[in-house]
Every structure is written in C-alpha cells, then in structure tokens.
Amino acid sequence: MSKGAIIYPGSFDPVTYGHIDIIKRASKNYDTVYVSVLENSKKSPLFTVEERVKMLKDVTRDYDNIIIDTFRGLLIDYAKEKDVHMVLRGLRALTDFEYELHMAQTNYLISQGTLETVFLPTDLEYSYLSSTTVREIASYHGDVSKFVPESVAVSLYKKFGY
C-alpha cells in the first residue's frame, strides 16, 4: 500500500545511529522520506548545514527513497512547498513527549489541520542517545564510535582537532 511522502525534520548536529534507525524504518513505510535540516536555527550548531547534509547523504546513500534537504523558516511552509502532509519525529523517552506534543499540536493548528505529525518510538538501544551527548563526548576527545557511523566520528574528531 502506498503511504506517500513524509518529512523528518531536525538539526542533525550531527546525525546519530538513533536518527538513522528512524530514517531506515520510515523508508520502509513511506514512498519518499525527506530528511530536512533546519537552516536558521537559533541554536549555534557545531556543523554547518552543508556539513550536516553531507554526513546525512553519506549515511543514507544505500536508500533510494530518502531525500536529504534543507529548510528555513516554518516547517508548515516548507511542507506546503513540498506538498507533504505528514511529519515524522522520533520519541526517545517521556521527557521528549511534552516538547514534541506541543510542536505537533502547534503545527497542526497553524497549518489549519493540514500538517499531521506521527511519532516513532526510538529503538531501546538508542533511547539514551542524543546529538548533544555525542558532541559533548567528542569535545573531550572521547570515543563516539558506538553512537555514530565512522564517517561522522571522523568529522567530529576533525572538528575537535584530534
């Protein structure tokens, strides 16, 4: 059964095995998965948008229904431009839920009910994992090989000068 397209938006600073797990599962269930990196985040990212896109392309190159893209401004406007009506977010734990619920309800409201959000529970193996933790460990020159693919680990090591 055709399930159409879905947008998986995020900062991906950098992409982790947790994100990759969600992307792979989405690719099985949707015809097209847009993995969309937010460009104008108020956060100051470690990696540039170009670097994040390159890492995402590298780790998803075996999947032909995944499109790595970027967006600015509101997610609802980007979704409209792509003519996609579904957003995907991963849920790691109850602590994620409040923020994610708020975002999903806001997007539903400001899109006048045209943009839905679906949640995928993160695989238990990755429920502790976040890009923030990975950046922190790498900044102290720790081993991040259990959290990110080798190409991403190399980018982190370069960024932190080792």
Q: 48, 9 in Cβ contact below 8 A?
A: no
Q: Is 19 a catalytic residue?
A: yes
* Cα of 69 vs its chain's centroid, Å: 11
Q: Is 25 a catalytic residue?
A: no
The sign one gets for the Cα dihedral 132, 117, 60, 92 is positive
The DSSP 8-state label assigned to residue 58 in this structure reads H
Using CB under 6 A, which of 23, 38, 59, 115 touches ligand PNS? Answer: 38
Q: Is 43 a catalytic residue?
A: yes
**Residue 7 is a binding residue for ligand PNS (CB under 6 A):** no
- DSSP per position, 84-123: --EEEEEE-SHHHHHHHHHHHHHHHHHTTT--EEEEEEPP
Least distance in Å: CB of 161 to ligand PNS?
25
Interface mask toward ligand PNS for 52-91; x: CB under 6 A = ----------------------xx----------------
Using CB under 6 A, which of 54, 69, 85, 106 touches ligand PNS? Answer: 106
Q: 49, 81 in Cβ contact below 8 A?
A: no
- Which residue, 10 or 14, is less far from ligand PNS as judged by CB? 10
- Which residue, 32 or 130, is less far from ligand PNS as judged by CB? 130
Least distance in Å: CB of 150 to ligand PNS?
22
State the catalytic residue, choosing from 11, 27, 111, 131. Answer: 131
The two three-digit tokens of residue 71, written as one number = 């967006």
Rounded CA-CA distance 85/87 in Å is 7
Q: Which residue is nearest to ligand PNS (CB)?
A: 10
Which residues form the catalytic set?
19, 43, 92, 131
